[in-house]
Amino acid sequence: MNKVFFLDRDGVINKKRSDYVKNVEELEILPNLDTIIKKIKQNNYLVIVITNQSVINRGLSTHQKIQAIHEKIQSKLEMKIDGFFYCPHRPDEKCGCRKPKTGLLELAATQFDIDFKNSWFIGDSESDILAGEKMGCNTKKIKSEYFLENAVNTILK
C-alpha cells in the first residue's frame, strides 16, 4: 500500500487569490515547491493534490484551464506530483466530491493503493482537515502556502 501526502492546491502549493486562480497567468507557485515535493517523494510517499475548483461551475474557468494550471505546476517540478483530483462544483450543488466530503479521496483510492492510516492531508482550510480525518489520514493545517515546507519537515523528522 502507498503512503500519500495529500495537498490542497490554493493556499498550500500556490498563492491563493480572493478572486480564485482561474488560468495559468494568475498562478503563483510556491518558490521552493520543487524541493518540498522532492523531499516527500524521497521519503517514499506519493503526492496527490485534492482541490475544490468551483471556478468551473461558477463559469469563471474551464476544465481545460484548470488542467493547464496543473500542467504548469508539473512543468516546474523535477519529481512530479502523482495525481491531481479536483471538484468543479459550487458549494450549493451538494456533490459528494467537494471537500469536506471524501469523494475525491475515494476516487484517488481507486487509482492508487492508499494506506490512509499512514498518509497525511495538508491544507489551509477546515474542509481539508475534515476530509482527511474522515478517511483516517493524519492531518496538518497550515496558515498559508509559506508554511508547507515547515509542515513537511516536521512530519518527516
As annotated, the active-site residues are: 8, 10
CA distance 128 to 67: 21
Classify the phi-psi angles of 44: left when phi > 0, otherwise alpha if psi is within -120 to 50, otherwise beta: left
Contact (Cβ atoms closer than 8 angstroms) between residue 53 and residue 67: no
Q: Please name the residue that has the C-alpha cell 515547491.
A: 33
First-to-last alpha carbon distance for the chain, in angstroms, is 21
Q: Please name the residue that has the C-alpha cell 518558490.
A: 31
Point out which residues pair with 14 in neighbouring strands. Answer: 10, 29
Residue 14 phi, psi (nearest 5): -145, 160
Report the half-sphere exposure of 148 (CA within 13 A, side-chain side). Answer: 29
